[in-house]
């Protein structure tokens, strides 16, 4: 199935590993050129760029701290002017700290909210002048946004905020731009594996209907679909991709 992404330009944050890398690679395989946005893992971003170039597409590296509004604005302005604009924006940068509810420190709270929620807002706001007519935005939240998470309440709160930020943006940017959200369960990414290692046994994958965690590509395929013209009548939606952990 041709998703209609050939020749498009995509900006993917959090593209130095995990779901971000998988999404950038799949976008390139569908014919898109990709801006690989990263925070601190430049080596991982370069590996992602190599995957993009291996399928004959162009890759740009763009490093910035998503929690720094000024840095986000400057970096996205520079790459937006360089590329001429974006047809796809995937907001995948994320950070989690597994801490029991009563032990979350103010610094942990601020860090997790800043990266997962404020960073998403800063990124979308900075990219808006460069989003072409018909562009699509996809944010990446979490099943925790719907279920809550006593061992990472700050992360659950940030992702719940991101779901509603997505809905607000979908209304604000319509009809010119679509904005949707993918809410994954745990995926076998570096962050996902670290999370699993620190969670109690009741989070084991046998509690999921499919009795396993996701591969990054399984989440990325859903992101790429929502980013494509194949989802042209979908906006303001949250697609749950959690293996049956939450079925509401």
Q: The CATH number of the domain where 212 resides is what?
A: 3.40.50.720
With respect to residue 66, please indicate whether it lies within any of the assigned structural domains: yes
With respect to residue 4, please indicate whether it lies within any of the assigned structural domains: no
pTM: 0.94
Which pLDDT score, from 0 to 100, does residue 204 have? 64
Q: What is the pLDDT of residues 150-177, one digit of tens each?
A: 888 999 999 999 999 999 999 999 999 9
With respect to residue 246, please indicate whether it lies within any of the assigned structural domains: no
Which pLDDT score, from 0 to 100, does residue 94 have? 95
DSSP helix/strand/coil, 187: strand
Q: In the predicted model, is pLDDT for residue 58 greater than 70?
A: yes
- What distance in Å separates the CA atoms of residue 187 and residue 199, rounded to the nearest whole number? 14
Q: In the predicted model, is pLDDT for residue 26 greater than 70?
A: yes
With respect to residue 248, please indicate whether it lies within any of the assigned structural domains: no
With respect to residue 162, please indicate whether it lies within any of the assigned structural domains: yes
DSSP helix/strand/coil, 104: coil
Phi-psi bin for 7: left (phi > 0), alpha (psi -120 to 50), beta?
left
122, 155, 203, 213: which one is catalytic? Answer: 155
With respect to residue 244, please indicate whether it lies within any of the assigned structural domains: no
155 is catalytic: yes
With respect to residue 161, please indicate whether it lies within any of the assigned structural domains: yes
Q: How many domains does the chain have?
A: 1
Contacts of 189 (CB under 8 A, 6+ apart): 17, 18, 19, 216
Which pLDDT score, from 0 to 100, does residue 239 have? 97
Q: What is the pLDDT of residues 102-161, one digit of tens each?
A: 999 999 999 999 999 999 999 999 999 999 999 999 999 999 899 998 888 999 999 999
Q: In the predicted model, is pLDDT for residue 25 greater than 90?
A: yes
Taking alpha carbons only, the member of 33, 11, 52, 7 closest to residue 139 is: 11
With respect to residue 45, please indicate whether it lies within any of the assigned structural domains: yes
Parent domain of 72: 9-238
Which pLDDT score, from 0 to 100, does residue 206 have? 65
Contacts of 16 (CB under 8 A, 6+ apart): 36, 38, 39, 41, 42, 43, 44, 45, 47, 48
Q: In the predicted model, is pLDDT for residue 209 greater than 80?
A: yes
């Amino acid at each position: 199935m041709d998703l209609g992404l050939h020749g498009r330009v995509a900006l993917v944050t959090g593209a130095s590993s995990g779901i971000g890398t998988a999404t950038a690679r799949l976008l390139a395989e569908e014919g898109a050129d990709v801006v690989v946005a990263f925070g601190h893992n430049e080596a991982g971003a370069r590996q992602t760029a190599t995957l993009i170039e291996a399928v004959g597409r162009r890759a740009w590296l763009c490093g910035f701290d998503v929690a720094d509004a000024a840095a986000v604005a400057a970096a996205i302005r520079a790459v937006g002017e360089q590329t001429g604009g974006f047809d796809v924006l995937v907001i995948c940068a994320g950070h989690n700290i597994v801490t029991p509810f009563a032990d979350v420190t103010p610094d942990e709270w601020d860090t997790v909210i800043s990266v997962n929620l404020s960073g998403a807002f800063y990124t979308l706001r900075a990219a808006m002048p460069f989003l072409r007519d018909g562009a699509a935005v996809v944010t990446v939240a979490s099943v925790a946004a719907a279920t809550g998470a006593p061992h990472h309440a700050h992360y659950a709160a940030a992702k719940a905020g991101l779901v509603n930020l997505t809905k607000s943006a979908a209304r604000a940017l319509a009809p010119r731009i679509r904005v949707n959200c993918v809410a994954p369960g745990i995926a076998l990414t570096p962050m996902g594996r670290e999370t699993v290692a620190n969670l109690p046994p009741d989070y084991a994958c046998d509690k999921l209907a499919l009795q396993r965690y996701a591969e990054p590509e399984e989440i990325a395929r859903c992101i790429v679909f929502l980013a494509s013209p194949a989802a042209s009548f979908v906006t303001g939606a949250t697609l749950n991709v959690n293996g049956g952990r939450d079925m509401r």
